[in-house]
């Protein structure tokens, strides 16, 4: 089962009225005798909860943040209802990913999470993204009590960042960078490619470059049909390119 904190978070996102639904008549606003303190940005606050749960080393820490997040959601319902549901969902995915592997069977789950992320990154439209995300939700529910090491938790966080980027990209109908193209946000690349980072001929003085690649060569994999393995000096190295 999902944590109470995430359920609360997603409930708030789904509580927004459907388009065309008349808004309820607001209650009279009492006159304040002094200016209330400025409310912190809600998205930044929610991201802060996700960062903290990703940094937890034990279950009591995660449980405490669950409770704190639930209380925050109840106390700030109106503000959260005004947020973009997709933004809340993406934060919720990262929160639950860290919570799931943070607390033994993490190795297999990391591989499964990576496979689901590859599926999401292969999506080109909203319908595909929603179908893949539904499978992701079912997988999360089935593995709510999973445990993992600190190293696995860090790997899950990086995968979660990529999953979120691919989810948002597919929902917007944007195509991810292809072979040889500069990596997208959070090192996002099209399915089957990885973000390779390197320095050019000027070394570190010229800054770091990135590109979406399929590595090849001895012990590194093979290229697909219509591709050949080539060496790009002062670049990503031995990678596949179209013939």
- Assigned domain for 35 exists: no
Element (H, E) at 44: helix 42-55
Asked if residue 198 and residue 98 are part of one domain, the reply reads no
- Assigned domain for 78 exists: yes
Asked if residue 232 and residue 131 are part of one domain, the reply reads no
Enter the pTM of the model: 0.43
- Assigned domain for 67 exists: yes
- Assigned domain for 135 exists: yes
Other beta carbons less than 10 A from residue 81's beta carbon: 15
User: In the numeric block, which tokens belong to residue 178?
Assistant: 């292809």
Q: Which residues contact 148 (CB under 8 A, 6 or more apart)?
A: 100, 101, 102, 103, 104, 105, 106, 107, 109, 110, 156
Residue reference for tokens 């445990």 = 147
Q: Of 58, 56, 61, 73, give the one whose Cα is nearest residue 4.
A: 73
Q: Burial of 63 by CB count in 10 Å (0-12 exposed, 13-18 middle, 19+ buried)?
A: middle
Dihedral (CA of 163, 164, 167, 172) sign: negative
Domain extent for 165 = 4-15+42-171
Asked if residue 194 and residue 80 are part of one domain, the reply reads no
Asked if residue 8 and residue 113 are part of one domain, the reply reads yes
Asked if residue 92 and residue 70 are part of one domain, the reply reads yes
Asked if residue 192 and residue 136 are part of one domain, the reply reads no
Q: Where does a domain end: 147, 171, 195?
A: 171
Asked if residue 191 and residue 139 are part of one domain, the reply reads no
pLDDT of residue 240: 95
- Assigned domain for 25 exists: no
In Å, how far are 146, 179, 241 from 201, measured between CA atoms?
Answer: 45, 21, 20
Domains identified in the chain, total number: 2
**pLDDT per residue as tens, the chain (243 positions):** 344 444 444 444 444 444 444 444 444 554 444 433 434 588 889 989 988 888 887 778 888 898 899 899 888 888 888 887 777 777 887 787 776 655 445 567 888 888 999 899 888 888 899 999 999 999 888 887 776 777 777 888 888 888 888 888 888 887 888 999 999 877 888 878 889 999 988 888 889 999 999 999 887 778 988 999 999 988 999 999 998
State the DSSP code for 221. B
- 209: helix, coil or strand? strand
Asked if residue 126 and residue 194 are part of one domain, the reply reads no
pLDDT of residue 1: 39
Asked if residue 190 and residue 167 are part of one domain, the reply reads no
- Assigned domain for 156 exists: yes
Asked if residue 166 and residue 49 are part of one domain, the reply reads yes
The backbone torsions φ and ψ at residue 208, rounded to the nearest 5 degrees and listed phi first, read -85, 140
């Amino acid at each position: 089962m999902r944590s109470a904190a995430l359920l609360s978070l997603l409930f708030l996102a789904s509580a927004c009225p459907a388009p065309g639904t008349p808004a309820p008549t607001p209650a009279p606003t009492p006159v304040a005798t002094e200016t209330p303190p400025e409310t912190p940005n809600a998205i930044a606050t929610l991201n802060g909860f996700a960062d903290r749960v990703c940094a937890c080393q034990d279950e009591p820490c995660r449980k405490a943040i669950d409770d704190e997040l639930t209380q925050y959601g109840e106390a700030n319902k109106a503000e959260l209802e005004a947020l973009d549901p997709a933004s809340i969902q993406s934060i919720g995915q990262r929160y639950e990913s860290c919570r799931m592997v943070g607390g033994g069977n993490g190795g297999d789950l990391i591989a499964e999470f990576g496979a689901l992320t590859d599926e999401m990154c292969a999506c080109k439209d909203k319908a595909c993204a929603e179908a893949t995300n539904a499978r992701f939700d079912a997988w999360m529910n089935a593995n709510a009590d999973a445990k993992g090491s600190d190293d696995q938790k860090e790997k899950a966080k990086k995968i979660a960042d990529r999953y979120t980027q691919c989810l948002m990209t597919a929902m917007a109908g944007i195509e991810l960078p292809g072979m040889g193209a500069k990596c997208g946000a959070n090192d996002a690349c099209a399915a089957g490619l990885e973000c390779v980072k390197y320095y050019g001929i000027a070394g570190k003085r010229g800054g770091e470059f990135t590109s979406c690649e399929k590595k090849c060569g001895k012990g590194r994999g093979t290229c697909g049909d219509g591709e050949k393995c080539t060496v790009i000096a002062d670049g990503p190295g031995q990678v596949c390119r179209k013939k």
